[in-house]
Amino acid sequence: MRRDSFGGMPCLEMFRMRNTGRYVRTLTQLQQNSKVIQDFTLTTLASIPGLFARLTYLASLRDLSSGRYEHAGLAALYPDEAIQQALQLCHEQIFERILETPLSSQLEDLRACLAGMEGGLPSAVSHWRRMEAYRVFLPEAAPDYLKELFCSNLGALLEILEEEHSPAHSTA
């Protein structure tokens, strides 16, 4: 019986040898990413109240021209590739968690987030609506339909918040 071989070595053995290193590298990378995520969520994100505030923070770590995330504390401890993958994953997960949250809860969370910004709630709402500033929060890898849903939801939520603080609403 003839076995397919490569230089006298069975193909299956050759495949295992070639892919064992790849498997170990992948496993090591997953473990590294897991450490970065755990470190980042426990030391940084846990101290930020609310999903919109966390999403805002994560988006602020991303360079808009390159799409790369910058975090000095993590950079001192972990390889850049692990940081990029971990922060991208955290960004996507918080984005998705917001979309899974009922709109009424999103409204309260957004209200709290904007109220803590410079200029206060009315100023932040007005600026975000006019400039669509929330578009920088979109994770690059998110599907287009989720990006559209997020922007549609944010537009509606901002309209509600603006209406709540309009002079006509105050005098009614």
Identify whether 171 is part of a domain: no
Distance CA 68, CA 92 (A): 14
Identify whether 32 is part of a domain: yes
Identify whether 3 is part of a domain: no
Mean pLDDT on 128-138: 95
**pTM, full prediction:** 0.79
Q: CB within 8 A of 150, min separation 6: which ones? A: 95, 98, 99, 134, 137, 138, 142
Q: Number of C-alpha atoms within 13 angstroms, CB side, residue 122? A: 7
Mean pLDDT on 95-99: 98
Instruction: Encode pLDDT of 25-50 as tens digits.
Output: 565 666 777 888 898 999 899 999 99
Greater confidence (61 vs 28) lies with 61
Mean pLDDT on 120-137: 95
pLDDT of residue 164: 92
Computed over every residue of the chain, the mean pLDDT equals 86
Identify whether 1 is part of a domain: no
Identify whether 27 is part of a domain: yes
> Could you tell me the pLDDT band of residue 97, with boundaries at 50, 70 and 90?
very high
Identify whether 53 is part of a domain: yes
Instruction: Encode pLDDT of 70-95 as tens digits.
Output: 999 999 999 999 999 999 999 999 99
Percent of the chain whose predicted confidence (pLDDT) is above 70: 80
Instruction: Please give the span between the terminal C-alpha atoms of the chain, in angstroms, as a whole number.
Output: 91
Q: Angle formed by the axes of helices 80-100 and 51-60, to 10°?
A: 150
Identify whether 98 is part of a domain: yes
Identify whether 7 is part of a domain: no
Overall domain count for the chain: 1
